[in-house]
Structure 1
Amino acid sequence: MIIDTLENASKYFSIHPCFKEAFEFIKNHNNFEKTEDGTVGDFENVKAFVATFQGVSRETALSKFECHDKNIDIQYCIKGKETFGWKSRQKCVLPNGDYNSEKDVRFFNDAPDFFFELAKDQFAIFFPEDVHVPMIGAGEIKKLVLKIKI
């Protein structure tokens, strides 16, 4: 997992061949705050969508303690403050259902090792080994999620 600000995004271009394109997409977009929810980009190996939602409690969010097998998530905060929980996939031992290959998601009932918060112009990169729980917060949260095929 990586947590950083958009101004430092170029430091991560070498990690994956699509990271440069993904972060340039974020930097070159006119105004995500005014963008309606839904898919805003679908280019080779990268799908981007905007989501606006009301933050939920840690307890409510924990039902979605998730990871992905085929994608890397870049989650970029547009508006509000979003808290995430995190734990290494190697330490998760309580599966919550079967892997959904159509949605590329598997859930766990384990508890996160720690929580962190993203504010405007900050992002987190979640790799397949990163089990994470999003959407924790108070009030409206708007974010951009980029799904990058491995």
Structure 2
Amino acid sequence: MITDTLQNLGRYRGIHPNLDTAIRWLATHDVAALPNGRTDVDGDRVFLNVMDADLRPAGDAAFEVHRRYADLQLDLTGGERWGWADSAAPQGAPDAQKDIGFLTGPEQAAGVLGGGRFVLFLPGEPHKPSCLAPGCTHLRKAVVKIEMR
């Protein structure tokens, strides 16, 4: 997991070629101007989903985990709390087609997005996005999906 400000996103070039593609694209496009739904950057290798989301209490949320994609999360309006764990117990079988599994366990780290910050969850990292943050119950966000195989 990496969290930082958007102005520092370029520091993370070189981790993976598809992350480099996402960083270059984000530097030249206004994500907030995109409509809700999927926008392809480089086919299934790099794409983003823009959405409106109602936030939920962190204690009620399961962790999610992906095997194929990293999630680069950006809040376009409002701010959300996120949680992270270094390990958690599976909650049912993962859906390989949708690249998602759900888990339970204790948080080891948490933070709040918004205000020009991002968080990057790498494949295999249990994370809880879209949780209530102080003063925010709904937001508009973008999740950049970055294939990391």
TM-score (norm 2): 0.88
| C-alpha deviation, 1:143, in angstroms | 1.2
1:141 aligns with 2:128: no
Does residue 16 of structure 1 match 2:11? no
Aligned twin of 1:97 = 92
CA deviation digits over 1:107-133, x for unaligned, max 9? 112121232101132111111232100
Give the alignment of 1:15-54 within 5 angstroms: 15-30=15-30, 32-44=31-43, 45-54=45-54
Higher helix share: 1
- Give the aligned residue type for 1:39: R
Q: How many positions carry a matched residue from both structures?
A: 144
Task: Give how far 1:27 is off.
Answer: 2.3
Identity %: 27
Gaps of 5+ in 1: none
Once the 2 structures are TM-superposed, how far is the Cα of residue 68 of structure 1 from its aligned partner?
Answer: 0.7
- Give the whole-Å Cα distance in 2 for the aligned partners of 1:96 and 1:127: 19
Tell me how far 1:43 sits from its aligned partner: 1.2
Q: CA deviation at 1:42?
A: 4.0
State the superposition RMSD in angstroms. Answer: 1.5
SS of 2:52 mapped into structure 1: strand
Q: Which runs of 5+ in 2 are unaligned?
A: none
CA shift at 1:83, angstroms? 0.5
Aligned ranges 1:95-134 → 2 under 5 Å:
95-134=90-129
Q: CA deviation at 1:41?
A: 2.1
Which residue of the partner structure matches residue 79 of structure 1?
77
* Distance in 1 (alpha carbons) for counterparts of 2:32 and 2:7: 18
